[in-house]
Amino acid sequence: MAATKKVIITCAATGAIHTPSMSPYLPVTPDEIAAAAIGAAQAGAAIVHLHARMPDDGRPTQDPEMFKRFLPKIKAASNVVINLTTGGAPNMTVEERLQPALQLKPEVASLNMGSMNFGLYEMLDRFKDFKYDWERPYLAASDDRIFKNTFKDIANILTLCGGNDTRFEIECYDIGHLYTAAHFLERGLLKPPLFIQSVFGLRGGIGNHAEDVLHMKRTADRLFGDDYFWSVLGAGRGQMPIAVMSAVMGGNVRVGLEDSLWIGKGTLAQTNADQVSKIRRILEELGLEIATPDDARAMLKLKGGANVNF
């Protein structure tokens, strides 16, 4: 793993996992998403990872026109690195999911390293009242839903977006995804340094036990050596403990309302900035320095915010 002198905080500010009824603080409208991203950047996030939602009912959307309603506001107000999803939501086609990153040419785009079961149905046991008609069936159908990213899909996304000099947040939900990333590195479709985002605690992927975290890092170290930067995200209650584990092992961290709605046991986070501020405070208490957006650009060899299409 490449030496991390400064810790990159990524904030996943919107997301497609949670639905609007789960928290009144989840940003939905373009203005809310812009404010969430700007607030996270002001709190210390070097990168913001963004999805879009339909403003009337919060449904996930990959319509590039919806992204255009908040991206220029963020860019005008902040130097933060913008990372657009190619994951969208599990019920979308690959072509649909690709469009924002392909058309808007961000510095960074997320890319899941494989097809997988993506189970959200257990949230039905935790949340009983839903404001919008789409929410309950969206969650319930996830017990028979596969998120599709075949080798061909991944190669196409890497080729098309890579042609725009977009680099990738390589999302690895299991050990096999690390080997898939190594495969595309060998094929020359991924270029070092890789930005590996290890994902823990989502149903269908690796768990959130400390041994799972160590296993991910050991495997990535063996496969990529000094050619990668490691970051982690822990879903739900694993968010902060797993982030701290990563940081003390020399890695980077991701927080945000996409990954967890909570700031503490039984307490909803009111903003993404709440979570960024909390992990920043912990990291600084540990004597670690927080990366600025320009630090992250230098570390990850990004093309710069002036070279995007928004």
Return the bridge partners of 46, or none.
none
The CA distances from residue 109 to 81, 124, 145, 158, in Å, are 11, 30, 23, 10
Question: Is 3 among the domain residues?
Answer: no
- The Cβ of residue 195 has, within 10 Å, a number of other Cβ atoms equal to 27
Closest C-alpha to 39, from 83, 99, 80:
80
pLDDT of residue 113: 98
- The Cβ of residue 265 has, within 10 Å, a number of other Cβ atoms equal to 6
Question: Is 287 among the domain residues?
Answer: yes
Total domains in the chain come to 1
Question: Is 2 among the domain residues?
Answer: no
Question: Is 279 among the domain residues?
Answer: yes
Distance of alpha carbon 242 from the chain centroid: 15
CATH number for the domain harbouring residue 274: 3.20.20.70
Q: What is the pLDDT along the chain (310 residues), one digit of tens a residue?
A: 976 689 999 999 998 899 999 999 999 999 999 999 999 999 999 999 999 999 999 999 999 999 999 999 999 999 999 999 999 988 899 999 999 999 999 999 999 999 999 999 999 999 989 999 999 999 999 999 999 999 999 999 999 998 999 999 999 999 999 999 999 999 999 999 999 999 999 999 999 999 999 999 999 999 999 999 999 999 999 999 999 999 999 999 999 999 999 999 999 999 999 999 999 999 999 999 999 999 999 999 999 999 999 9
Distance CA 275, CA 270 (A): 9
Residue type, 310: F
Question: Is 35 among the domain residues?
Answer: yes
Phi and psi torsions of 195, nearest 5°: -115, 95
pLDDT of residue 128: 86
pLDDT of residue 82: 98
Question: Is 229 among the domain residues?
Answer: yes
pTM for the structure as a whole: 0.96
Tokens encoding 130: 């839903």
Closest C-alpha to 111, from 57, 147, 64:
147
Burial degree of 148 (CB within 10 A; 0-12, 13-18, 19+): middle
- The Cβ of residue 126 has, within 10 Å, a number of other Cβ atoms equal to 8
Q: In degrees to the nearest 10, what's the CA dihedral of 127, 130, 133, 137?
A: 0
Which residues have C-beta within 8 Å of that of residue 26, sequence separation ≥ 6? 14, 18, 19, 20, 58, 257, 261
Is the CB of residue 212 less than 8 Å from the CB of residue 200? yes
Is the CB of residue 246 less than 8 Å from the CB of residue 230? yes
CA end-to-end span of the chain, whole Å?
Answer: 33
Question: Is 297 among the domain residues?
Answer: yes
Domain coverage including residue 303: 9-307
